[in-house]
Amino acid sequence: MNEKIIELIEEKKFSQLKEELNEMISVDIAELIDELDKKNSIIVFRLLSKDHAAEVFSYLSSAQQKDIVGAMHETKMKEILEELYFDDMIDFLEEMPANVVKKILKASTEEERKLINQFLNYPENSAGSLMTIEYVDLKKEMSVKEALSHIKKIGVDKETIYTCYVLNDKRKLEGIVSLRKLVLMEDDLLISDIMNEDVITTQTIDDQEEIASLFKKYDLITLPVVDKEGRLVGIITIDDIVDVIERENTEDFQKMAAMEPNDEEYLETGIFSLARKRIIWLLVLMVSATFTGSIISRFEDVLSTVVILATFIPMLMDTAGNAGSQSSTLVIRGMALGEIAINDYLKVFWKELRVSVVVGVALGIINFGRMLLLTKAGIPIAFTVSFTLFLTIVMAKVVGGTLPMLAKKLKLDPAIMAGPLITTIVDAMALIVYFNIASLLLGLV
């Protein structure tokens, strides 16, 4: 498909190209533009119809949007921006340099300008930054028939018409009616008779993570956003929430792998920006690992007497880290999905304790057998290592399971505070246990 388009560009067959483009879905055109160089992507964009162009524009990355804004004539650009849904326009403006924003604000009406400024001021990741203002509003005195003809008149510019919002004269939200109900109900019923007054709402400053939970819990398609006085200021739609869910998951993956979160795409992020996101946690963990090292130096005598003990340090440390991050991952994920609550603390502790005993005994026995059969370590050393392994797994799992809950209790982010630190903490514990048991059992003190 794309080869054909590229051929048409190269052969400058623009009228045929235009025809092909008009039959394509906007997302696919955006993907095509992503593969083209700057010059050709502008050629393609110019050939799109106004509606199509706006839709394609909303799917482009901000770098590409910037290129296109730079290359297009100002009035043509304004036409396209006017076709954008309000939330897409705000997303675009947020990424543009100040001079572009200023130019666009200058070309807007007083009222638009006020609205744009208001939206640009909502904190990132808040309901305000996700919402759009293109919704259908109804009055409760309307009949179903009147409501449907009202929708027919104003619906074409709305992002969704499937949920309609019933507002009073002060724009206070009194209820919602789904288009489904309007279509299925008799024409002469009143909106006040069929509207649902038990509306789940959110406020402009609420965090996107909580909002995503509401969508998941109640299987919502849209969610109204109200101000402190209960007036409707915008709505959030499920397509933006799907993106939020993936972004939040990406953040959790990054935090749990000891990085500061970054919502740019990997291939589009610069070297120094990537490096900066990684250095801080590596540094913190490096310094804390030197404490682990200092444990070894305290036991240097033991180590120099029985050098073979050093051979098992990597295995003990790795297993401790893995066992701990298994537990912490399950608990962090369970809390993120709302399956585990803070007051399940004792349940988690008791569960991890029992699981870790099962896992620890199994691995301890296997390791003991393996060391006796396959290495030259005698029974005392094999026992020392295997018993340490058992204790380490139990400690790692109990700490790994409960530390994230402690972090949450202290209002710290479990993913960032517990994820990367678990390995370091359980490593240190593993070594302390190891050398103490070795000193005792091998009579090295």
Interface with a copy of itself in residues 369-428 (CB under 8 A): 370, 389, 393, 420, 423-424, 427-428
Decide if residue 7 touches a copy of itself (CB under 8 A): no
CB atoms within 10 A of CB 159: 18
Q: Give 190-245 as a DSSP string.
A: BHHHH-B-----EETTSBHHHHHHHHHHHT-SEEEEE-TTSBEEEEEEHHHHHHHH
Site for a copy of itself in 331-360 (CB under 8 A): 331, 333-334, 337, 339-340, 344, 347-348, 351, 354-355, 358-359
Tell me how far apart the alpha carbons of residues 399 and 433 are, in angstroms, rounded to a whole number. Answer: 15
Decide if residue 265 touches a copy of itself (CB under 8 A): yes
Decide if residue 195 touches a copy of itself (CB under 8 A): no
Interface residue with a copy of itself, options 12, 124, 266, 343 (CB under 8 A):
266
Q: Among the candidate windows 45-53, 98-106, 123-131, 329-337, which touches a copy of itself by CB under 8 A? A: 329-337
Is the CB of residue 67 less than 8 Å from the CB of residue 98?
A: no
Interface residue with a copy of itself, options 208, 329, 384, 388 (CB under 8 A):
329
Q: Among the candidate windows 63-71, 91-99, 108-116, 361-369, which touches a copy of itself by CB under 8 A? A: 361-369
Interface residue with a copy of itself, options 155, 171, 372, 442 (CB under 8 A):
155
CB closer to a copy of itself out of 116 and 215 = 215
CB atoms within 10 A of CB 362: 12
Which phi and psi (to 5°) does residue 195 adopt?
Answer: -75, 155
Burial of 87 (0-12, 13-18, 19+ CB in 10 A): buried
Tell me how far apart the alpha carbons of residues 105 and 102 are, in angstroms, rounded to a whole number. Answer: 5
CB closer to a copy of itself out of 43 and 179 = 179
Decide if residue 326 touches a copy of itself (CB under 8 A): yes
Q: Where are the beta strands (DSSP E) in 16-132?
A: none
CB closer to a copy of itself out of 72 and 417 = 417
Is the CB of residue 176 less than 8 Å from the CB of residue 163?
A: yes
Q: Among the candidate windows 67-75, 95-103, 120-128, 175-183, which touches a copy of itself by CB under 8 A? A: 175-183
Interface residue with a copy of itself, options 98, 156, 373, 445 (CB under 8 A):
156
Q: Which of 177, 136, 196, 192 is nearest to 160 (CA)?
A: 136
Interface residue with a copy of itself, options 7, 49, 283, 409 (CB under 8 A):
283
Tell me how far apart the alpha carbons of residues 281 and 144 are, in angstroms, rounded to a whole number. Answer: 59
Site for a copy of itself in 199-258 (CB under 8 A): 200, 215-219, 221, 238-239, 241-243, 245-246, 249-250, 252-254, 256-258
CB closer to a copy of itself out of 93 and 238 = 238
Tell me how far apart the alpha carbons of residues 152 and 308 are, in angstroms, rounded to a whole number. Answer: 82
Site for a copy of itself in 104-123 (CB under 8 A): none
Is the CB of residue 416 less than 8 Å from the CB of residue 255?
A: yes
For the chain, the straight-line distance linking the first and the last C-alpha, in angstroms and rounded, comes to 75
CB closer to a copy of itself out of 108 and 322 = 322
Q: Among the candidate windows 13-21, 62-70, 121-129, 297-305, which touches a copy of itself by CB under 8 A? A: 297-305
